[in-house]
Structures are given as structure tokens and as C-alpha cells.
Amino acid sequence: MKEKLIKHFKKAFSLTDFFVKRDTFAFWGILIIAINFVMLHGNGYSSDLSYWRNWILDMQQSVGGFSGDYPPLYALWLRAVSVIYNLTGFSLKMEYELKQFCLFPVFVAHLSLALFVWQRLQNRSWAPEIKTIVMLLVVANPILYLDGPVWGQVDLLPVAFCVWALWYAAKPSTYGRGMALFMLGLLTKFQMIMFLPIFAALSLRYRKVMWRGLASMAVVFLLVFLPFILAGAFTKEFSQGYLRAVNSYPYATMNAGNLWMVVSGNMTPQMRPIFEWAPAFMNPALLGKILFVIISATIMVIAFIRRLSIGRLMMLSSLNALAFFMFLPCMHERYVFPAAIMAIAGIACQRRPAIIWAVLLSMVAYMNIAMVTSLRGNALWFWISVLGIAVTLPFALYALAPTVHGNLSKLYDKVAVPKFVPFAILVLIYVADLGSSYIQQAKTAYHLGEGEYFVYDLKLIHQWQGYGNMHIGKTVDGNPLHVDGLLYLSGIGTHAPSKQIYELPENANRFTVTCGVDDESGNGVLEFIVKLDGKELWRSGRMEGRQSASADLDIRGGHEIILETDELGDKGYDHADWVNPVVYTK
């Protein structure tokens, strides 16, 4: 019975012979790129995206004008992004493109982390099935996509620096390189200080070459801060990237499922005693720091005294990161993320695969992050469908014609695809995708001339709609305006039935507009109507999805222009967009 179960298990994972072979990192890398670009269509927090917009505007002026609470390395990337926006004229209203630009380093970090794990697995004598599971933890782990391309956070970038840093710092010959990478992690996210006990233990162990690490860290620190030093903004950037970040949220926990969520509750002041009868010093701020220091000191001593393998060092680093999240106050939901990533890297470096810990830590991280954000966004459906088709076809070949599939696998094994191919593909996709967005923006963007006004900039006399709220530059659901497959930056998103009345300038003479059911609506059916002082000027007729209609109307002598939508019986999913609605006065 046992042998039969093993046989069936191996059959179920027979594709691993195709996935995990020599020179096949390209497969995993391409899969990472595909999933990341699909997940980019998920809706992130609009408030977080607004931070990026403001910071990019800061950087368009000068490095010294940066007002964000990020350390300097990622701030410099935003400076590069601001230059791209200046050169291309891209609109900051385009959310998908904004995430693409800001998250490029995160996608590269994801590929580098997968490459790290894949390279370590090549030296393991594990069964192909186990190697596949470990690779899936870094390639298809939902926390990587929910935190990154969906939400729009950059936590993976500094953790990837720390993974590679620990790999190099664990050996005296490459210790200096490792410490330089650790400094890059600290210069990307201050929270990477959670790994300091391990790096401190290694520094004490390699006392004879410690100067190399200190020198390399100092050089990296100066190089990264140099633009801010030259701009006379070193003190400002250091303060807002590090000192201000520590005191930003003085709560026991801020949406973090840790010890203080259980004891004190969410968003409770960190200085409040944990019980009503407890003395003042028994508060999360003090007790949390004491607990964390005890655990960190213990880990540091063990790492210093015992000659541990790199796999064990990474597991201790993961534990320290978990303690950082579980016991310190002021934690966010995302700060458990590094513990899971370090555990995944640690598995690949061990002789025996302790997969369960990476799975459990990933589960904890996912549940924390999912409580705050979730996978949503209508634009995802198309790309999820494409991925589904891409999986269905080869799987059908495998299931229906295993001999043909086996021959193709043998042919694939003979092709040696270089490891850099996924990184090259990532760059090519960026060039093609952003080029397409640039062409689309040029096609649909409207730049107001002299004597021209968007109708929504005029005085709004009356507004009503049957569902939701009207948005300027967004759909009724708060997403970018898409009509008949095209993105529009300027317009009104509403829901039929609806009515808006605007006061016209005295010399208004012409009104132009394009309208349609937004692409986010699956089956909306409605009609658009334009009236002047209560008299009908234009009616679109019945409109469904993937249709658009345009009007060019004479409004001379009018005082009020009225934009109406009729639900035509059923108002379900009637997401109505008025795009590029322009009033002319000359």
C-alpha cells in the first residue's frame, strides 16, 4: 500500500522532471514575470499610490525636496522614475503604469531571490518533487504578489538584499561583500535592522576581517547618501527615513496580528498598561522591547559561539525577524513578511528540507496582509483567463498524449537557456508595455487649449445618481476610466440613472464628449443624454460594453448643460463614463 502511494505521488509530480533540471531557471523566471504582470492589474490602496505621486513630484524638483519616510536607496529610484516621467510626459493618474515604474526593483528582487533558491537546490540530492515545492514557495507564494504588485509595497527588495548578504557574510572570504549588501538592505528599509544580531555575531566571529565589513558598509552608506549630501539634505533625509519612521505610529500594534493584538487590542497607545491594575511600566512599549532584546541577544550568542551552517543562520535570522514582529510595539501587518522570505531561503541552504516552517510563516504573513488588502480588480480577469489558457493547453497535451509530451520534454532538455534570460525578458516587457501605454495616452489624453474647460471644472449646480458616488477621473468603483478598450485620464465616472447640471460660461459655444459603458462593467446597458437649459440636444441610443459614442454640440446662448444617463429598465452594472467632456468658449 505504501509503495502504491509513493508511486501515485511521483506520478502526480512527474512534471517536476521538466521543471527542475539543469539550466531551467529560465522557466521559473518567466513564470514569475507572468504572474507579477497579471497581479499588477490588482487594485492597490489609492492612498498609498498618492504617496508615490507626491514623492515623484518632489523628486522632479530636486533630491533635496523629497518628503517621504523612505530611506535613501528607494528614494533615489523614485528620482529615476521622476526623470522618466519628465522625459516621456506620462500622466501620474495612470495607476497601472505608476505601479510598473515604482515596482521594477521589486520584480528584479523577486527574480534574484528565485535564482538564489534555484542555485542552492542544484547542490541538493532531494527528490525532484521536494525541489519543486521549494521553488513554488518562492515563485507562486501569494504573499509575494499580495504585498508587491497588488498592494504596491517594496518589502521584498530589502529582504532580497539581506538574503544574499547573509550568504556572503557567512564566509570570511566574502564577508565584506555581504556586509555591503546588508547596508543596502538597511538603506532601503530601516526594518532590516531585525537581522542585525546575526550580522553582528558574524562580525565578532570574523574579527580579523571585520574592518573589511565596516569599510564596505561605510563606502556604500556614503555613495547612496551622496546625492542628498550634495543637495544639502542629508540631515533631513536621515531624519525622515530613520528617526521619523520609528515614531510614526505610537501604537501597541497597527493591524499586526502579534502578541499585543491579543493582550491590548489594535491601535492601542503603546504606553498604556496591558491591564487596568498593572503598574505604568507594564506597557507594550517597554515589555515588547525587553522580550525582543532577550531573544535577539540569545540568537546573537548562539550564532557567535556555534559554527552553524548557512541554512541554520538563515533560520535564526527568520526567528529574529518573527520575534521583531511578534513582540515589538508599533508593528504593521507587513513586518512579518521578512521572516517568511528568510525561512524560504534558509530551506534551500539546509541538508534536510524543513518545508513546514516556510509554509506556516507564509500562512501567517498572508493572513496578516490579507486582512488589510485583498486581490481585487476587474482588469485581472482578462489576464487570469490568458494564464488559464496557457496552462490548459500543455496540461491537455500531458494528459491526452503523454508520449508526445515526453518527446517535447526531452527536446526541451537539450536546449540550454541562460539564467539571465528572465531578466532580459523583464526589460523587454517593460519597454513594450510602457511603449504601448505611451501610445495609448497620446491617443486619448486631451490637453486643454485657451478658452477650453473640462465640464466638471465648471460650477456644479446639481448632481444625483441611483447608485454609488460620482468620481472625477475615475469610474463609479474608483478605477481608471476605460471605454471600448482605451484608457482615458479625464472624465466623469457615474452610474445610471444619473444627472449632473453645470453652469456654463456666458461665451460658451461648443461641447464635445465621448461616452460609453466602462469596461469594468460586464453587462451594463444604458443611454447617454445631453440637454441645454432643459432642452434635449443629443441622445446616444442604446449603449452596451465595448461601445463608445461621441458628440460635438452647439451650445451657444445656453446657461446650463445637463448630462443624464438612463438605465433603460435595469440599472445593474450601468457604469457610465463621460470622457474628455470639453466646453469651448472661443
Choose among 356, 295, 351: nearest CA to 323. Answer: 295
> CA 169 to CA 179: how far, in whole Å?
6
By DSSP bridging, strand 460-465 and strand 498-503 are antiparallel
Sign of the alpha-carbon torsion through 566, 570, 571, 573: negative
User: What is the 8-class DSSP label of residue 146?
Assistant: I
Is residue 465 located within the same domain as residue 571?
Answer: yes
Indicate whether 445 belongs to any domain.
Answer: no
> CA 55 to CA 53: how far, in whole Å?
6
Indicate whether 381 belongs to any domain.
Answer: no
> CA 540 to CA 526: how far, in whole Å?
9
> CA 220 to CA 278: how far, in whole Å?
46
> CA 406 to CA 411: how far, in whole Å?
9
Indicate whether 568 belongs to any domain.
Answer: yes
Structure-derived torsion over alpha carbons of residues 476, 477, 480, 483, reported in degrees to the nearest 10: -60
Q: Residue 497, preceding bond cis, omega within 30 degrees?
A: yes
Question: In a structure prediction context, what are the per-residue pLDDT tens digits for the chain, which is 586 residues long?
Answer: 556 555 554 544 444 444 444 447 988 999 999 999 999 988 766 667 888 899 999 998 889 889 888 899 999 999 999 999 988 888 888 888 899 999 999 999 999 999 999 999 998 989 989 999 999 999 999 999 999 999 989 999 999 999 999 999 999 999 999 999 999 999 999 999 999 999 999 999 999 999 999 999 999 999 999 999 999 999 999 998 887 766 667 888 888 999 989 888 888 888 888 888 888 889 999 999 999 999 999 999 999 999 899 999 999 999 999 999 999 998 989 999 999 999 999 999 998 888 999 999 999 999 999 888 877 766 676 777 777 777 777 777 777 778 887 787 777 667 777 878 899 999 998 888 888 888 888 888 898 999 999 999 999 999 999 889 999 998 998 888 889 888 898 999 999 999 999 999 999 999 999 999 998 886 789 999 999 999 999 999 999 888 899 999 999 999 999 999 999 877 778 999 999 999 999 7
Helix (H, G, I), strand (E, B) or coil at 549: strand
Choose among 60, 74, 86, 54: nearest CA to 237. Answer: 74
Choose among 548, 562, 586, 563: nearest CA to 444. Answer: 548
φ, ψ for residue 519 (rounded to 5)?
A: -65, -20
Assess contact for 256 and 331: CB atoms under 8 A: yes
By DSSP bridging, strand 510-517 and strand 527-532 are unpaired
Assess contact for 426 and 108: CB atoms under 8 A: yes
Is residue 189 located within the same domain as residue 281?
Answer: yes
Contacts of residue 307, Cβ cutoff 8 Å, sequence gap at least 6: none
User: What is the 8-class DSSP label of residue 462?
Assistant: E
Q: What is the DSSP string of 355-418?
A: HHHHHHHHHHHHHHHHTT-----TTHHHHHHHHHHHHHHHHHHHHH-HHHHHHHHHHHHT----
How much is the pLDDT for 46? 63
Is residue 463 located within the same domain as residue 342?
Answer: no
Indicate whether 13 belongs to any domain.
Answer: yes
| Grid cell of 302 as nine digits | 548562539
Is residue 137 located within the same domain as residue 283?
Answer: yes
By DSSP bridging, strand 575-584 and strand 452-454 are antiparallel
pTM of the model: 0.83
- Asked which of 315, 343, 370 is the last residue of a domain, the reply is 370
Amino acid identity of residue 343, one-letter, is A
| Grid cell of 206 as nine digits | 570574523
Indicate whether 405 belongs to any domain.
Answer: no
How much is the pLDDT for 305? 94
User: What is the 8-class DSSP label of residue 559?
Assistant: S
How much is the pLDDT for 522? 62
Boundaries of domain holding 47: 2-370
Choose among 349, 290, 288, 289: nearest CA to 318. Answer: 349
Helix (H, G, I), strand (E, B) or coil at 238: helix
How much is the pLDDT for 34? 92
Q: What is the DSSP string of 151-201?
A: T---THHHHHHHHHHHHHHTSGGGHHHHHHHHHHHHTT-GGGGGGHHHHHH
User: What is the 8-class DSSP label of residue 241?
Assistant: I
Contacts of residue 11, Cβ cutoff 8 Å, sequence gap at least 6: none
Q: What is the DSSP string of 243-288?
A: IHHHTS--BSEES--SHHHHHT-TT-BTTS-SSTTS-TT-SHHHHH
CA distances from 221 to 190, 224, 513 (A): 13, 5, 53
> CA 226 to CA 234: how far, in whole Å?
8
**Number of domain units in the chain:** 2
Q: Is 351 exposed, middle or buried (0-12, 13-18, 19+ CB in 10 A)?
A: exposed
Indicate whether 401 belongs to any domain.
Answer: no
> CA 221 to CA 213: how far, in whole Å?
12
Is residue 350 located within the same domain as residue 486?
Answer: no
How much is the pLDDT for 4? 57
φ, ψ for residue 382 (rounded to 5)?
A: -60, -50
Indicate whether 517 belongs to any domain.
Answer: yes
Indicate whether 395 belongs to any domain.
Answer: no
> CA 532 to CA 394: how far, in whole Å?
58
- Asked which of 370, 398, 421 is the last residue of a domain, the reply is 370
Assess contact for 516 and 543: CB atoms under 8 A: yes
CATH of the domain at 464: 2.60.120.1060
> CA 467 to CA 460: how far, in whole Å?
19
| Grid cell of 488 as nine digits | 482615458
Neighbours of 391 (CB within 10 A): 10
DSSP tally for the chain: helices H, then strands E: 22, 15
- Strand segments (E) across 33-74: none
Q: Is 91 exposed, middle or buried (0-12, 13-18, 19+ CB in 10 A)?
A: middle
- Asked which of 335, 370, 405 is the last residue of a domain, the reply is 370
